[in-house]
Amino acid sequence: MKKSDKSRFAILGMLLREPLSGYEIRKIMLNYTIHFWQESDASIYPMLKKLETEGKVKSRSQYVGERESRIFEITPAGKKEFANWIEIPAEEEKHRNELLLMLFFGANSNKEKILKQLFIRLQKEKEKKKNFENIKTSFLSKISDKDRNKLFWMMTLENGIISTNADIKWLQECINILQKNKLASNKTKKEKKRK
C-alpha cells in the first residue's frame, strides 16, 4: 500500500454493509457523503480493479438483459485492511480556502469587491443550510430508529449543519465590520473636505 490513497477505504467501507457495483457506490456517495467525501467514476472503477488484484474484494457479473453490472464483495483481507485504517488517527483536512485568501489581501484590494464576495458566499451557505435541513427531515422519516447506521449518518449530517452555521455567523460578522468601516471612512473623507 502506498502513502495515502484514501479512496480505497471509502470504497472498502461502502462494501462492508453490502456488495455493490461501482455505479451504486457512486450513487451512495452522491446521496450520502457528498458534503464530506466524493469520488468520480474515473477513480472508483480503477480502484475496484486494483482492490480485486490485491484480493481485497471479489466480483461477480450480474445481468439485467444485456446490461452487465459487476457486483463487488469485500473479502476477509479487505476487512482487515479496513480495520487497520480505523486504528490510525484520521488525518486533518488541509484547507485551501480561496475566500479567506481573497480576504487576506483585502487591504491591497477593493473593499466593495470583497464585500460582494462575502455576500455571494453568505447566500450559498444559507442555501446549503436549508439543504442540510431538508435532508435531515426527509432522512429521519425514511430510516428506522433501529437501523444502526442512523446514529452515525445523523452525526455526519450534524457536522455539516454546525459548520455551515459557524460559517454564516462569521460571514455576517465580517460584513458588519466592513460596512461600518466603510461608513466611518466616508465620514472622514467628508470632514476633510469641509476643512
Partner DNA sequence: GTCGACATGTAAATAGTTACATGATTCT
Partner DNA sequence: AGAATCATGTAACTATTTACATGTCGAC
Where do contacts with DNA occur on this chain (CB under 7 A)?
Answer: 2-7, 21-24, 27, 38-43, 45-46, 48-49, 64-70, 94, 96
Least Å distance between CB 33 and its own copies? 6
Q: Contacting its own copies (CB under 8 A), which of 24, 59, 139, 170?
A: 170
3-class secondary structure, 69:
strand
Q: Which three cell numbers stand for residue 37?
A: 467525501
**Packed helices 76-87 and 7-17: angle between N→C axes, nearest 10 degrees:** 120
Residue 93 near residue 73, CB atoms below 8 Å: no
What is the spatial distance between Cα 185 and Cα 163, in angstroms, rounded to a whole number? 33
Q: Residues binding its own copies: what is the number (CB under 8 A)?
A: 67
User: Is the alpha carbon torsion for 81, 82, 87, 91 positive or negative?
Assistant: positive
Residue length, the chain? 195
Residue closer to its own copies, measured from CB, 134 or 181: 181
57, β-bridge pairs: 74
Q: Under the criterion CB under 8 A, does residue 151 sit at the interface with its own copies? A: yes
Nearest to residue 121, comparing CAs of 139, 144, 97, 140? 97
Q: Which of 102, 133, 101 is nearest to 115 (CA)?
A: 102
Choice between 58 and 111, CB closer to its own copies: 111
Does 23 sit near its own copies (CB under 8 A)?
no
36 near its own copies, judged by CB under 8 A = yes
| Strand ranges, E, within 65-185 | 67-74
Q: Which does 75 bind (CB under 5 to 8 A by kind): its own copies, DNA, none?
A: none
71-130 positions binding its own copies, by CB under 8 A: 82-83, 85-87, 89-110, 113-114, 117, 120-121, 124
Q: What is the CA radius of gyration of the chain?
A: 24
Choosing from 134, 181, 186, 188, the residue that interacts with its own copies (CB under 8 A) is: 181
Binding at 70: pick from its own copies, DNA, none (beta carbon under 5-8 Å per type):
DNA
- Which parts of this chain interact with its own copies (CB under 8 A)? 6, 9-10, 13, 16-17, 32-33, 35-38, 82-83, 85-87, 89-110, 113-114, 117, 120-121, 124, 147-149, 151-153, 155-156, 158-159, 162-163, 165-167, 169-170, 173-174, 177-178, 181
